[in-house]
Structure 1
């Protein structure tokens, strides 16, 4: 069987509470992808960092890794740092096939969901539903 993994790649912060929404996102995503290992990895300040997480997945025999940058925009981290990291990971783990999605904030469906939330706050609807 071809083992697959999905890494939600976030910036990281000094405050542990900052990761809470990303942990919830990971849990929601994992519940919908039972056959895929869904995890978080961070650019800096938090663990695991992306290279650490990929090393764990490689040791577990994962053959495909999809990376989703959970950033609202494609700033320097997504445009410069992430491609460099992925080049290094591809060289270190040639047996793993890596794919990278656009930053979540660049996706029209995500932007529409955020807009719906914002509109709901003005319209008097309770946030979140």
Structure 2
């Protein structure tokens, strides 16, 4: 059986609140889509890192991963760092499919969130 998973890739930080917020998002995602296998990892400064998270998913029988970068902007991490690391992981697991999805970028839903927080002036 080809198990599938969604891997949420966050930046990571020295600040513990970063992990708390990521875990809150993970709990909400799992609650809204309990049939989906979700995992999370961090690009830097926190654990698990990308390689460790994918190793764990693979060990659990996952052979198809949608890797979602939980990043607003399309910077070097999105354009270079994560794709390079995913390529190295793909080379180690030729039977593993990893689809690197688009980051958040611009979304009208975020405009609504910003307006909710700033209005009225």
Tell me whether the two structures share a fold, i.e. TM-score over 0.5.
yes
Q: Which one is further off, 32-41 or 59-68? A: 32-41
1:60, 1:86 → 2: CA distance?
18
Matches within 5 A, 1:118-129: 118-124=114-120
Q: Secondary structure at the match of 1:36?
A: coil
1:37, 1:51 → 2: CA distance?
17
Unaligned runs of 5+ in 2: none
State the shift of 1:36 in Å.
2.3
State the shift of 1:53 in Å.
0.6
Q: Are 1:22 and 2:18 matched, yes or no?
A: no
Tell me what 2:76 maps to: 76
**1:19-71 CA deviation, whole Å, 9 max, x = no partner?**
22221111111122223221111111000001001101111111111100000
Whether the aligned pair in 2 keeps the contact of 1:68 and 1:100 (CA below 8 Å) is yes
Q: Are 1:112 and 2:108 matched, yes or no?
A: yes
Tell me what 2:49 maps to: 49
2:117, 2:18 → 1: CA distance?
23
Higher RCO, 1 vs 2 (CA within 8 Å, ≥6 residues apart): 2
- How high is the TM-score relative to the length of structure 1? 0.86
State the shift of 1:113 in Å.
1.6
Q: How many residues end up aligned between the 2 structures?
A: 120
Q: Are 1:97 and 2:97 matched, yes or no?
A: yes
2:44, 2:3 → 1: CA distance?
27
- How high is the TM-score relative to the length of structure 2? 0.91
State the shift of 1:95 in Å.
1.1
Tell me what 2:37 maps to: 37
Unaligned runs of 5+ in 1: 125-129
